[in-house]
Amino acid sequence: MAAQPAQEVGPPGHHHFYYYYRALSSDNVKGLLLALSSSAFIGASFIIKKKGLKKASESGLAAGNGGYSYLYEPLWWIGMIAMILGEAANFAAYAFAPAILVTPLGAVSIIISAALAHMILQESLHIFGMLGCALCIVGSTTIVLHAPQERAIGSVTEVWDLATEPGFLCYALIVIALALVLIFYFVPRYGQTHILVYVGVCSLVGSLTVMSVRALGIALKLTFSGVNQLVYLQTWVFAVIVAACVVTQINYLNKALDTFNTAVVSPIYYVMFTSLTILASVIMFKDWDGQNATQIVTEMCGFITILSGTFLLHKTKDMVDSAGALYRCLG
């Protein structure tokens, strides 16, 4: 009997190697470098802004108490510029590399932020905090790597049609209602003592920001390619939503950074923001329709891992040393 020919090795049977091969391409290298630089800028911006907020609070009312003296502090503006550069680099990265390579690298900003907070701000990050960060990163990466790819959108009106369907309208109304309850009820009572209040507002509003930014980005991309989208009212509506959401996010993120440990704010914000953004994208673009049970279960496992990391960070954020933390956790 003749020997069976060896099976051809290729992308269909070895998709992981195919992705690694693609990662060596020039465009993907550019995308990865942009994503890494984005994480570096964003991670550093948390520390620079925190330093600016501390300096501003010495000469005026702190942001955590409703003050805006940080607007006159140059160091805070340097942090804002670093964050803007990071977000711009992150946006550009998606033009060169697929989301499966770019999005998980956002977790690098947590590590950078925690390390710089320890070195520059002398904010302690004990062993349980490190474990919480690791769980958050693993869980978020699991979700992102198994999340469905976003559908290709051809016009801003198509995005508007998706955004005004009952499913996403319901999500948006729930998010707005929760954000308003947090702002007007929980912030005055628990904002200074519960980190999830400020971060919750940022994350909820942020999920709507990303959906609007996606729509605005599509409009600008099509306009620059010769198909003018600026003539549509929907483009300007999305622009207004982006502006309103970004201002709200910045305001409450400043309050969180001014009130709580940066090494704790950064990962919790990343986890909640990433999770809600993925949820909003799944609802709006209906990407779960093309997924199998294994993929969905894997994503749920990622959510459980994230919740575990968030709980560990929140439960041990005020613990000083590892030994004391261990005794308190066991007790």
Tokens of 4: 């069976």
Tokens of 23: 């990662």
Evaluate whether residue 285 is within a structural domain. Answer: yes
Evaluate whether residue 40 is within a structural domain. Answer: no
Answer yes or no: are the C-beta atoms of 207 and 276 closer than 8 Å: yes
* Sign of the alpha-carbon dihedral angle for 120, 305, 302, 208: negative
pLDDT tens digit at each of 331 positions of the chain: 444 444 444 444 445 544 444 434 565 677 778 888 998 898 899 888 888 888 777 776 565 556 667 777 888 889 989 988 998 887 767 656 655 566 667 777 777 777 787 788 777 777 887 887 788 788 777 766 776 555 667 788 998 999 999 999 999 999 999 999 999 999 999 999 999 999 999 999 988 987 887 777 778 778 888 888 899 999 999 999 989 999 999 899 889 988 888 767 877 887 788 788 778 877 887 767 777 888 778 878 888 887 787 777 666 656 655 545 554 544 5
Evaluate whether residue 45 is within a structural domain. Answer: no
Answer yes or no: are the C-beta atoms of 287 and 150 closer than 8 Å: yes
Evaluate whether residue 203 is within a structural domain. Answer: yes
How many domains does the chain divide into?
A: 1
User: Measured between alpha carbons, how far is 64 from 259 in angstroms, rounded to an integer?
Assistant: 6
Residue with tokens 């990303």: 210
Length of the chain: 331
User: Measured between alpha carbons, how far is 198 from 255 in angstroms, rounded to an integer?
Assistant: 7
SS (H, E, C) the chain: CCCCCCCCCCCCCCHHHHHHHHHCCHHHHHHHHHHHHHHHHHHHHHHHHHHHHHHHHCCCCCHHHCCCHHHHCHHHHHHHHHHHHHHHHHHHHCCCCCHHHHHHHHHHHHHHHHHHHHHHCCCCCCHHHHHHHHHHHHHHHHHHHHCCCCCCCCCHHHHHHHHCCHHHHHHHHHHHHHHHHHHHHHHHHHCCCCHHHHHHHHHHHHHHHHHHHHHHHHHHHHHHCCCCCCCCHHHHHHHHHHHHHHHHHHHHHHHHHHHCCHHHHHHHHHHHHHHHHHHHHHHHHCHHHHCCHHHHHHHHHHHHHHHHHHHHHHHCCCCCCHHHHHHHHHC
pLDDT at 232: 92
Evaluate whether residue 265 is within a structural domain. Answer: yes
Evaluate whether residue 183 is within a structural domain. Answer: yes
Amino acid (one-letter) located at 256:
A
User: Measured between alpha carbons, how far is 214 from 272 in angstroms, rounded to an integer?
Assistant: 19
Backbone torsions φ then ψ of 306, nearest 5 degrees: -60, -45
pLDDT at 169: 96
Answer yes or no: are the C-beta atoms of 90 and 103 closer than 8 Å: no
User: Measured between alpha carbons, how far is 30 from 19 in angstroms, rounded to an integer?
Assistant: 15
Instruction: Note down the domain range covering 224.
Output: 150-289
